[in-house]
């Protein structure tokens, strides 16, 4: 075999590897990326050590909605040593008034939010509590109010306030590992809030 065909074959392999790397980087930067759940704050919806695929493309084409599960960079005071992003559920969008009342329920624009995804104890949804006084927030433009589904084990907007949408990495939409948990993460449509916007 001459040196020329061997060199051509080597160049082909290098080109293929380079193209594969470029495609991988483009997909992970702009389209989707894997995320490993490390916190307990989204139990039972998402358990620690499960993997989800984070959609980074469609949020660029439209706003985040109530019920979306998002992965985001936490506020500076909450960044962990290894820089792990947080994963929480969107409870309120820009303009929403969020209130946590004594009955342990979350109210959005004066309407009690139906939350079947909240962590349950003995078949009953865990009450939502906060130490913030007053327990009420109005979500500014360009921000989201987020909470974990396991309210007693979640550091979220009840503590650090609404987050900027510019800090959101993307929307978690597919749980893919372990394989027996594979499935699309459903977003509740909250019919009780349909009259109040997105």
pTM metric for this prediction: 0.84
pLDDT of residue 82: 77
Looking at the chain, which runs of residues are DSSP E strands? 32-36, 51-55, 69-72, 86-92, 97-100, 106-108, 111-112, 120-121, 124-125, 136-138, 143-147, 163-164, 168-177, 183-184
User: In the annotation, is 56 catalytic?
Assistant: no
Average pLDDT of the chain to the nearest whole number: 88
Catalytic hit among 56, 88, 154, 157: 88
Identified catalytic residue from 41, 56, 154, 157 = 41
| Res 1: pLDDT | 47
Instruction: Mark whether 41 is an active-site residue.
Output: yes
Confidence class of residue 194 from pLDDT cuts 50, 70 and 90? confident
3-192 is classed CATH 2.60.40.3500 = no
Domain ranges, ordered by start, for the chain:
3-192
In the predicted structure, residue 166 carries a pLDDT above the cut 90: yes
pLDDT digits (tens, 9 = 90+) for 46-59: 999 999 999 988 77
């Amino acid at each position: 075999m001459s040196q020329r065909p061997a060199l051509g074959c080597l160049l082909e392999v290098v080109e293929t590897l380079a193209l594969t790397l470029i495609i991988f980087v483009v997909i992970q930067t702009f389209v989707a990326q894997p995320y490993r759940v490390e916190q307990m704050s989204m139990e039972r919806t998402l358990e620690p050590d499960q993997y989800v695929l984070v959609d980074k493309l469609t949020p660029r084409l439209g706003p985040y909605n109530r019920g979306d599960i998002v992965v985001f960079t936490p506020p500076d005071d909450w960044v962990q040593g290894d820089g792990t992003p947080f994963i929480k559920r969107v409870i309120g969008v820009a303009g929403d008034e969020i209130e946590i009342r004594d009955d342990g329920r979350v109210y959005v624009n004066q309407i009690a939010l139906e939350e079947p995804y909240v962590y349950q104890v003995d078949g009953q949804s865990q009450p939502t509590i906060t130490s913030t006084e007053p327990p009420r927030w109005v979500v500014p433009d360009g921000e989201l109010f987020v909470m974990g589904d396991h309210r007693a084990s979640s550091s979220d907007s009840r503590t650090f306030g609404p987050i900027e949408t510019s800090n959101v990495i993307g929307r978690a939409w597919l749980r893919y590992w372990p394989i027996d948990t594979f499935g699309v993460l459903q977003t509740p449509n909250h019919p009780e809030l349909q009259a109040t916007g997105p």
